[in-house]
């Protein structure tokens, strides 16, 4: 199914009286920033917008919230003009709001994730875009809305977070061109980056420190492995979510090809994540334990105590090198 | 003194038979990348170039070395056509090579650091440029050299490292425009970023972990303080240079306004670094101890044991909030 044009989608949106936007759960910078930018643009043209959430807006993205985010499923009542899924190519990406999504008389989807099957009345899916924010930038242009400071800040947030600050391979010429255009609004790039990145919960630093104390180098330094237990979380007051990104520290060590991170789960289970840097295929080993994923990023769950899981990994991981 | 034009400087360089390039000591991504890009461009036009170093090229920049870097002061003998200081606005930035610099019949300086007094025969100093790499990009354009993959990779390294991956306030529209132009060469942005950033010495992770174990939060979490001793370096096999950047982890904690990092020095001295996030002036406190710097980044040296220095900071730093 071919995409509708952004021109057409812009026309449909501008004819609406009210539009409810649906970012995916655990909205990241791209989901939240894209929603905020599009909502601000539509509001400037007199279209009433709200961004419907089902969980908290992350602490480091709260600067985006100018009052358009809502947690009230009934904000627009039993029916409204348009429901638009943003950065969410499947309704399953907002499970607790799916029913509300269907209250929209017209459904729209704008995303950059490859999707099996466009599900909305109007769809624009571009897996070549580094971020949904890039598509929203183009859409806002088609709608004839000037990108002001607030819109630019939201779009920059969307783009910079999804392309790893212009380091990931999804970064293209277009990504830089859009970033250049956003600077015209005069938004503060350094203040925005500070808000996003200089906002680490202290619990994250504490649990990262505890986890890195467990780090061991295997196979002559080609494998870095570390783990976290529930006791370690309790000691530091951290949550499991504060360990997100830890595996990238392990993988970022010079000479390391494979990073392995083990998390103590419920009922004697251990969740294992693996990442490789440039050549090792970690997917097969994870598959052999009932898991899977990609060549460079996979995972599995082991039903054994942490000590045994660590021993098993020490024995098996060097085999993927 | 006004800048010479890049056109003029390009003409002078292209008339030379041999050119020796001088990055500053401890060459960072901008110094090393700018030198490599300019040397490659000149070599492509038949000008023999070498980049003269006085210390090792950093491990995460060694991918830049295609054979043009040299540590041989006599590589071009007692006299050569042009000596060019790159990313170095003062000859004091390459002290052990100053004598060699003066062997060049013509001196050129290209830099983006504010300088008191241009010292070369031809100078181009632009403090508005996010990186010297931006100026080199323009210079290469003036010389009519096509930016190939290798040149683009070197310039991207120069630019991305000096603007904090497009997060610092020196990042401008021009920075993004140049990055966009560099992608035309087809160089791999993700491989380059991997080489620069996924190459952390394991000793750095180990010493950072040890230092973060010492972290204490003061003034209700508005101050984060940590320290490193020589014993900690010995235990982990790390060097003091591996603690560079540690203070940014402290400053990056949510709620922290001032980060304080103490390093044990020689003869009972303690070197103190301070950074503030958005409002505190750390310069005055450092000045009161014989140091100084900027409002948001200052330092001083205390002549007392580490324990006393920590006590003093606990007492005095909350006063800057």
Residue B283 predicted with pLDDT over 80: yes
pLDDT-derived band at A116, boundaries 50, 70, 90: low
Residue A2 pLDDT exceeds 90? no
Average predicted confidence (pLDDT) for chain B: 95
| CB-CB under 8 Å, A160 with B169 | no
pLDDT tens per residue across span B163-195: 999 998 899 999 999 999 999 999 999 999 999
Contacts 24+ apart (CB under 8 A), A167-173: A167/B160, A167/B165, A167/B189, A167/B190, A167/B193, A167/B197, A168/A130, A168/B190, A168/B193, A169/B188, A169/B189, A169/B190, A170/A130, A170/A131, A171/A130, A171/B189, A171/B190, A172/A128, A172/A130, A172/B183, A173/B180, A173/B183, A173/B184
In chain A, what residues touch B173 (CB-CB under 8 Å)?
A: 180, 183-184
Which of A213, A253, A255 lies closest to B209 in CB terms? Answer: A213
**Residue B131 and residue B164 in contact, taking contact as beta carbons nearer than 8 Å:** no
Give the gap in angstroms from C-alpha A164 to the nearest C-alpha of chain B: 9
Residues of A in contact with B224 (CB under 8 A): 202
The residue among B12, B15, B19, B24 whose CA lies nearest residue B57 is: B24
Yes or no, beta carbons of B190 and A205 under 8 Å apart = no
Test B167 with A189 for CB contact under 8 angstroms: yes
- The answer to whether the Cβ–Cβ distance between A169 and B190 falls below 8 Å is yes
Report CB contact under 8 Å: B171, A190.
Answer: yes
Q: Which residues of chain B neighbour A173 with C-beta distances below 8 Å?
A: 180, 183-184
How near does any CA of chain B get to the CA of A261, in Å? Answer: 15
* Contact at CB, B164 and A205, closer than 8 angstroms: no
Residue B1 has pLDDT above 70, yes or no: no
**pLDDT computed for residue B118 by the predictor:** 85
Partners of B50 in the β-ladder: B20
Q: For B6-197, which CATH superfamily applies?
A: inorganic pyrophosphatase (n-terminal core) (3.90.1640.10)
- Per-residue model confidence (pLDDT) at position A1: 63
Closest residue of chain B to A181, computed from CA coordinates: B173
Whether B169 and A190 lie within 8 Å, measured CB to CB? yes
Which positions in chain B touch A177 (Cβ < 8 Å)? 176-177, 180
pLDDT tens readout for residues A86-106: 999 889 999 999 999 999 999
CA distance B306 to chain A (A): 22
Name the closest residue on chain B to residue A175, using Cα atoms: B180
* Contact flag A251-B199 (C-beta cutoff 8 Å): no
pLDDT for position B302: 97
User: Under an 8 A CB cutoff, do B277 and A194 touch?
Assistant: yes
Contact check, Cβ <8 Å, A254/B199: yes
Instruction: Kindly give the residue spans of alpha helices, DSSP state H, lying in chain B.
Output: 6-15, 29-44, 98-101, 132-142, 149-162, 173-183, 189-197, 202-213, 230-236, 246-251, 283-288, 306-316
- So where are chain B's domains? 6-197, 202-320
Average pLDDT of the residues of chain A? 95
How close is the nearest chain B Cα to the Cα of A66, in Å? 20
Order of strands across the sheet that contains B297-303: B216-218, B223-228, B258-264, B269-276, B297-303, B292-293
Residue pLDDT, tens place only, A150-188: 999 999 999 999 999 999 889 999 999 999 999 999 999
Cβ-based contacts under 8 A for chains A and B: 124
Residue B191: closest CA among chain A residues belongs to which residue?
A169
Report CB contact under 8 Å: B167, A197. yes
With 80 as the cut, is the pLDDT of residue A82 above it?
A: yes
Whole-number pLDDT of residue B7: 98
Residue A118 pLDDT class (50, 70, 90 cuts) = confident
**pLDDT reported for residue B89:** 87
Compute the average pLDDT of residues B306-319: 98
Model confidence pLDDT, tens digit, residues B132-175: 999 999 999 999 999 999 999 999 999 999 999 999 889 999 99
Q: Which of B180, B198, B202 sits opposite A176 (nearest CB)?
A: B180
Measure the CA–CA gap between B133 and B29, rounded to whole angstroms.
9
Q: B205 pLDDT band (50/70/90 cuts)?
A: very high
B199 CB neighbours in chain A (<8 A) are 252, 254
**Where is B269: in which H helix or E strand?**
strand B269-276
CB contact under 8 A, A277 and B194: yes
For residue B223, what is the enclosing H or E element? strand B223-228
Bigger pLDDT: A37 vs B244: A37
Closest residue in chain A to residue B255, using alpha carbons only: A199
The pLDDT of residue A66 is above 80: yes
Inter-chain CB proximity A165 and B169 less than 8 Å: no
Q: Report the pLDDT value the prediction gives residue B116, as an integer from 0 to 100.
A: 64
Confidence bin at B271 (pLDDT 50/70/90)? very high
Alpha-carbon distance A281 to nearest alpha carbon in chain B (angstroms): 18
Which residue in the set A183, A189, A254 is minimally distant from B200, CB to CB? A254
Nearest CA-CA distance, residue A165 and chain B, Å: 6
Higher pLDDT, B118 or A202: A202
Class of the domain covering A202-320: alpha beta
Contacts of A207 (CB under 8 A, 6+ apart): A228, A232, A233, A236, A238, A242, A243
Q: Distances in Å between the alpha carbon of A138 and those of A17, A52, B34, B55, B130?
A: 22, 23, 34, 48, 27
Give percent of chain B above pLDDT 90.
90
pTM: 0.90
Of chain A, the percentage scoring pLDDT greater than 90 comes to 90
Is the distance from CB of A134 to CB of A140 less than 8 angstroms?
A: no
Percent of chain A with pLDDT over 70: 99
Q: What is the distance between the alpha carbons of residues A23 and A36, in angstroms, rounded to a whole number?
A: 10
Residues A227-254 have a mean pLDDT of 94
ipTM of the complex: 0.89
Nearest CA-CA distance, residue A82 and chain B, Å: 35
Is 90 exceeded by the pLDDT of residue B294?
A: no
Predicted pLDDT of residue A117: 79
Which residues in chain B have their CB less than 8 angstroms from residue A193's CB?
164, 167-168
Question: Using CB atoms, which residue from B177, B197, B209 is nearest to A180?
Answer: B177
Please tell me which of the candidates A166, A198, A249 has its beta carbon nearest to residue B165: A166
Tell me if A190 and B172 make a contact (CB, 8 A cut-off): no
**Given this model, what pLDDT does residue B153 score?**
98
């Amino acid at each position: 199914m071919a995409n509708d044009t952004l021109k057409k989608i812009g026309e449909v949106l501008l004819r609406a009286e009210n539009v409810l936007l649906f970012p995916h759960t655990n909205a990241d910078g791209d989901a939240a920033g894209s929603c905020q930018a599009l909502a601000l643009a539509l509001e400037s043209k007199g279209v009433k917008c709200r961004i419907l959430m089902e969980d908290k807006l992350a602490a480091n993205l709260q600067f985006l919230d100018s009052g358009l985010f809502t947690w009230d499923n009934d904000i627009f009542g039993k029916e409204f003009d348009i429901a638009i899924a943003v950065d969410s190519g499947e309704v399953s990406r907002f499970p607790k709001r799916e029913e509300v999504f269907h209250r929209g008389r017209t459904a729209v989807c704008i995303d950059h994730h490859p999707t099996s099957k466009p599900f909305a009345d109007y769809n624009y899916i571009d897996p070549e875009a580094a971020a949904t924010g890039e598509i929203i930038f183009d859409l806002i242009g088609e709608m004839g809305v000037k990108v002001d400071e607030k819109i630019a800040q939201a779009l920059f947030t969307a783009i910079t977070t999804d392309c790893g600050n212009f380091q990931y391979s999804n970064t293209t010429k277009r990504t830089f061109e859009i970033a250049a255009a956003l600077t015209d609004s005069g938004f503060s790039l350094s203040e925005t980056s500070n808000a996003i990145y200089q906002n680490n919960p202290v619990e994250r630093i504490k649990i990262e420190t505890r986890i890195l104390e467990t780090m061991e180098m295997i196979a002559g330094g080609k494998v870095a492995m570390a783990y976290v237990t529930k006791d370690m979380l309790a000691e530091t007051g951290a949550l499991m979510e504060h360990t997100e990104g830890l595996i990238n520290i392990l993988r970022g060590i010079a000479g390391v090809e494979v990073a392995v991170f083990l998390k103590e789960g419920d009922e004697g289970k251990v969740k294992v994540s693996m990442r490789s840097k440039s050549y090792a295929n970690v997917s097969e080993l994870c598959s052999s334990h009932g898991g899977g994923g990609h060549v460079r990023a996979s995972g599995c769950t082991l039903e054994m105590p942490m000590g045994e899981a660590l021993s098993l990994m020490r024995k098996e991981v060097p085999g993927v090198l």
